[in-house]
Amino acid sequence: MSDTHAQTVAYVRETMVEQKEPPLSQSGAYKWIHENMFSTPLNVILTVVSLFVIWTVLSHVLPWAVMGIWDADSLAQCREIRDQLYGADASVACWAVISERWNQLLFGFYPPELYWRPVLAFVLFLAAIAPVLFASVPRKMLWFSAAAPFVLYWLLWGGSLWGPIAVAAGFALGAVVMRFAAPALGALAGVLLAILVPLLYWFLISGPLAGALNAVIPLELVNVRSNDMGGFMLAMIIGVSGIALSLPLGIVLALGRQSDLFIINKCSVFFIEVIRGVPLIVWLFTASLLLNYFLPPGTNFDLMLRVIIMVTLFSSAYIAEVVRGGLAALPKGQYEAADALGLDYWKSMRLIILPQALKISIPGIVNTFIGLFKDTTLVVFIGLLDPIGLSNAIRASTDWNGIYWELFVFIGLCFFIFCFSMGRYSLFLEKKLRREHR
């Protein structure tokens, strides 16, 4: 059959045709530009408008920034140099203010000969959070992360090293009591004892102990007062402490809000709603104006500490709401499965519920952290010298009176780098923890 069929066909091509290049309009840059920028009349208009916007912005900003003057002592000198170089009409940046005052913007009025301390603290801080952020860093580093708060405190504020060590020993004491007393006395008594013993230790023993140790082996750094700290260092201190403290507090509040226990539930709801309902700036004024009313007469503690407490409480309420969303988004089956396994409340939360709920709430939590870090600028209104406050102080000096944009650009860029990298990290974590549809 096939033979006869073959004979009926007049012509059969025996070789393949050479493959041709795709037409120009269907490949390469031309196609990409056509599809992504000029596919419809509306798109053409949008592209032209965007090009115009980009051109307008860049044509003003780029020459201003690139031709900027880096070497001058004052704004007047900057203008002299500009007149010589580009003529009086040119609009150029005076970056000299940054090159002269960058140390103030970063460290506030921290003594210049001690700048190595905050710098070292920052490096140590990066090393300490690395094992928390990235699972590939050796787990042994977590011990360093646990010790870091005490070391960093000592580096920044100075004083005797024995003070932070004595405080840290309290935590170790609690852990030891928990480890050995709990099997002997039962779980509840163990926990109570593990809370009571360190408290007693901190109130009665730690102070004299630190003093005695310091008398034997003095390990002291020069004291620096909180008032001298400012700029980005201040933003980092408040931001990082607030972030580290508000996450656990926020989780506890969220659990309280989901709890069946009536009183605990209502207290958590009240706390969260009141904190969230009032702007942070009002809370900061409360901390600076009113806190002395609520505490015993004569109590007077550091303004920076008050701010850290307020910022922590504020963002913990927001985190509680985010985590509550995560808890509510978990299928009910997970709760029931934990119960069916016979786990008690804390175990089921720790092993089953919270790991999943926190994973769901990562974007919200990181957004809250970014918000907290940005909100540290508000402390300028109660007299702390954050970067924006310092920019006002710099402008108040006769040398730099009338300088705006350079300072704003510098401060904005610094904040942008921190906040943007936090956002990127959250995306990375989400991608890493995603379990479905890979």
Partner 1 sequence: MTTMTDPPGQGFRLSQLIYDTRYRSLTIQVVAMIVLMLLFSWLVSNTIHNLQTLGKDFDFGFLTQPSGYDINQRLIEYDSQSTHGRAAVVGILNTLLVAVLGCALATVLGVIAGVLRLSNNWLVSRLMAVYVEGFRNVPLLLWIVLIFALMTESTPAPRAFRGDTPDASMLFDAVAITNRGVYIPAIHFASPFFTNGLFNWLLILAVLGASIFAISRLRHWATEKQEATGDRPTTWYLILGLLIVPTGLLMLLMGAFLDMPSLQGFNFGGGVHLRNSLIALWLALSLYTGAFIAEIVRGGILAVNKGQTEAAYALGIRPSTTMNLVILPQALRVIIPPLISQFLNLTKNSSLAIAVGYMDVRSTLGGITINQTGRELEGMLLLGLFYLVLSLLISGVMNVYNASVKLKER
Interaction site with partner 1 (CB under 8 A): 35-37, 39, 43, 46-47, 50-51, 53-54, 188, 260-264, 267, 273-274, 276-282, 285-286, 289-290, 292-297, 370, 374-375, 377-378, 380-381, 388, 404-405, 408, 411-412, 415-416, 419-420, 423
User: Toward partner 1, which CB reaches closer, 93 or 210?
Assistant: 93
The distance of closest approach from Cβ of residue 282 to partner 1 in the complex, given in angstroms and rounded to an integer, is 6
User: Toward partner 1, which CB reaches closer, 166 or 284?
Assistant: 284
The distance of closest approach from Cβ of residue 155 to partner 1 in the complex, given in angstroms and rounded to an integer, is 27
Distance CA 311, CA 315 (A): 6
Distance CA 149, CA 250 (A): 20
The distance of closest approach from Cβ of residue 292 to partner 1 in the complex, given in angstroms and rounded to an integer, is 7
The distance of closest approach from Cβ of residue 51 to partner 1 in the complex, given in angstroms and rounded to an integer, is 7
Distance in Å from the first CA to the final CA of the chain: 52
User: Toward partner 1, which CB reaches closer, 175 or 290?
Assistant: 290
The distance of closest approach from Cβ of residue 404 to partner 1 in the complex, given in angstroms and rounded to an integer, is 5
One-letter amino acid for residue 396 of the chain = A
The distance of closest approach from Cβ of residue 225 to partner 1 in the complex, given in angstroms and rounded to an integer, is 25
User: Toward partner 1, which CB reaches closer, 80 or 273?
Assistant: 273
The distance of closest approach from Cβ of residue 413 to partner 1 in the complex, given in angstroms and rounded to an integer, is 9
Return the closest-CA partner of residue 303 out of 204, 229, 365: 229
The distance of closest approach from Cβ of residue 33 to partner 1 in the complex, given in angstroms and rounded to an integer, is 9
Q: With beta carbons less than 8 A apart as the criterion, state whether 411 and 391 touch.
A: yes
Return the closest-CA partner of residue 373 out of 391, 361, 386, 389: 386
User: Toward partner 1, which CB reaches closer, 160 or 241?
Assistant: 241
Distance CA 437, CA 21 (A): 37
Q: Which helix (H) or strand (E) holds 221?
A: strand 220-221
The distance of closest approach from Cβ of residue 220 to partner 1 in the complex, given in angstroms and rounded to an integer, is 35
One-letter amino acid for residue 368 of the chain = T
User: Toward partner 1, which CB reaches closer, 375 or 399?
Assistant: 375
Q: How far is CA 148 from the centre of its chain?
A: 17
Neighbours of 242 (CB within 10 A): 25
Distance CA 237, CA 245 (A): 12
The neighbouring-strand residues paired with 159 are: 221
The distance of closest approach from Cβ of residue 84 to partner 1 in the complex, given in angstroms and rounded to an integer, is 24
User: Toward partner 1, which CB reaches closer, 164 or 190?
Assistant: 190
User: Toward partner 1, which CB reaches closer, 158 or 363?
Assistant: 363
Can you read off the two tokens belonging to residue 104?
């103030």
User: Toward partner 1, which CB reaches closer, 206 or 386?
Assistant: 386
Distance CA 291, CA 199 (A): 24
The distance of closest approach from Cβ of residue 132 to partner 1 in the complex, given in angstroms and rounded to an integer, is 22
- Identify the burial level of 411 via C-beta atoms within 10 angstroms of its C-beta, where 0-12 means exposed, 13-18 middle and 19 or more buried: buried
Distance CA 34, CA 171 (A): 65
Which residue carries 């209104």 as its tokens? 381
The distance of closest approach from Cβ of residue 54 to partner 1 in the complex, given in angstroms and rounded to an integer, is 7
User: Toward partner 1, which CB reaches closer, 144 or 381?
Assistant: 381
149-156 — which CB contacts under 8 Å span 24+ positions?
Answer: 149/244, 151/124, 152/121, 152/124, 152/125, 152/128, 154/221, 155/117, 155/118, 155/120, 155/121, 155/124, 155/221, 156/117, 156/118, 156/121, 156/224, 156/229, 156/233, 156/237
User: Toward partner 1, which CB reaches closer, 52 or 143?
Assistant: 52
User: Toward partner 1, which CB reaches closer, 132 or 189?
Assistant: 189
Contacts of 353 (CB under 8 A, 6+ apart): 327, 330, 334, 335, 338
